[in-house]
């Protein structure tokens, strides 16, 4: 009986000594600090955060002007030769030959102008939050450059974004961006085909009609 008590005390002491070297297991793995949390909010809020702008710009201009002006003037005068200076017995001045004078004038102006311009631009560009205004709005700026088979395109976008307009997937439509500015620059092989030649440009400047 005493041997059993001694054995139990020895085992208890041994387990107590090894307790510091044992690690308890768990069915849940330890979370890595670099891993995204399950309910994390990735919407841009601070300087340096990124945000995707969905650009869907469409503009259509249809201006028509028509002017039709016309003026006609007709004037006629007739003189019978009598000066109207007479006495009871005879005319003081002799009768002059009568004549008839008429004049007509016409002035007409017709003008017509028709200007149509329809453009559309669809793209997506990711921008960076450069500043946070005192009211919480975000100042964003971003650029994108492409070079495909010699055709170069550069896009610069800037504006002010209200955080409440940002969607859950961290995107926003271009029409919701205040002071939205987009600048596109084209270069490469297709550039000469998108602008008139030098001779046509000269005629457009000096042509009077």
Give tens-digit pLDDT for 89-102: 665 556 666 667 78
Rg, Å, the chain Cα set:
46
Query: Is the confidence at residue 197, as pLDDT, over 80?
Result: no
Q: What is the pLDDT of residue 75?
A: 81
Q: What is the pLDDT of residue 90?
A: 60
The answer to whether 155 touches 125, Cβ cutoff 8 Å, is yes
Phi, psi (deg, nearest 5) at residue 109? -135, 130
CA-to-CA distance for 122 and 175, rounded, in angstroms?
Answer: 12
Q: What is the pLDDT of residue 54?
A: 92
Q: What is the pLDDT of residue 64?
A: 84
Q: Which of 180, 184, 186 is nearest to 53 (CA)?
A: 180
Q: What is the pTM of this model?
A: 0.52
Query: Is the confidence at residue 135, as pLDDT, over 70?
Result: yes
Query: Is the confidence at residue 73, as pLDDT, over 60?
Result: yes
CA-to-CA distance for 122 and 142, rounded, in angstroms?
Answer: 16
* Mean pLDDT taken over the chain: 77
Highest mean pLDDT among 12-21, 73-82, 157-166, 177-186: 157-166
| The two three-digit tokens of residue 28, written as one number | 């849940």
127, burial (CB in 10 Å: exposed 0-12, middle 13-18, buried 19+)? buried
| The two three-digit tokens of residue 111, written as one number | 């003008």
| The two three-digit tokens of residue 125, written as one number | 């560009």
The Cβ of residue 36 has, within 10 Å, a number of other Cβ atoms equal to 8
Give tens-digit pLDDT for 17-51: 655 555 555 555 555 555 555 556 678 888 999 99
CA-to-CA distance for 86 and 178, rounded, in angstroms?
Answer: 89
């Amino acid at each position: 009986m005493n041997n059993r008590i001694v054995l139990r005390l020895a085992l208890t002491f041994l387990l107590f000594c090894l307790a510091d070297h044992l690690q308890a297991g768990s069915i849940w793995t330890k979370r890595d600090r670099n891993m995204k949390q399950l309910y994390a909010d990735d919407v841009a809020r601070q300087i340096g955060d990124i945000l995707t702008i969905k650009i869907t710009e469409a503009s259509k201009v249809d201006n028509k002007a028509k002017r039709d002006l016309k003026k006609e003037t007709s004037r006629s005068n007739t003189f019978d030769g009598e000066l109207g200076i007479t006495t009871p017995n005879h005319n003081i001045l002799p009768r002059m030959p009568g004549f008839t004078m008429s004049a007509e004038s016409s002035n007409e102006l017709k003008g017509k102008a028709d200007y149509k311009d329809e453009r559309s631009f669809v793209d997506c560009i990711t921008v960076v939050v450069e500043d946070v205004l005192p009211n919480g709005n975000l100042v964003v700026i971003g650029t994108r450059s492409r070079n495909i088979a010699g055709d170069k395109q550069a896009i610069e976008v800037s504006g002010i974004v209200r955080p409440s307009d940002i969607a859950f997937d961290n995107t926003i439509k271009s029409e919701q961006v205040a002071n939205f500015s987009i600048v596109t620059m084209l270069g490469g092989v297709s550039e000469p085909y998108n602008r008139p030649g030098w001779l046509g440009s000269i005629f457009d400047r000096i042509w009077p009609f």
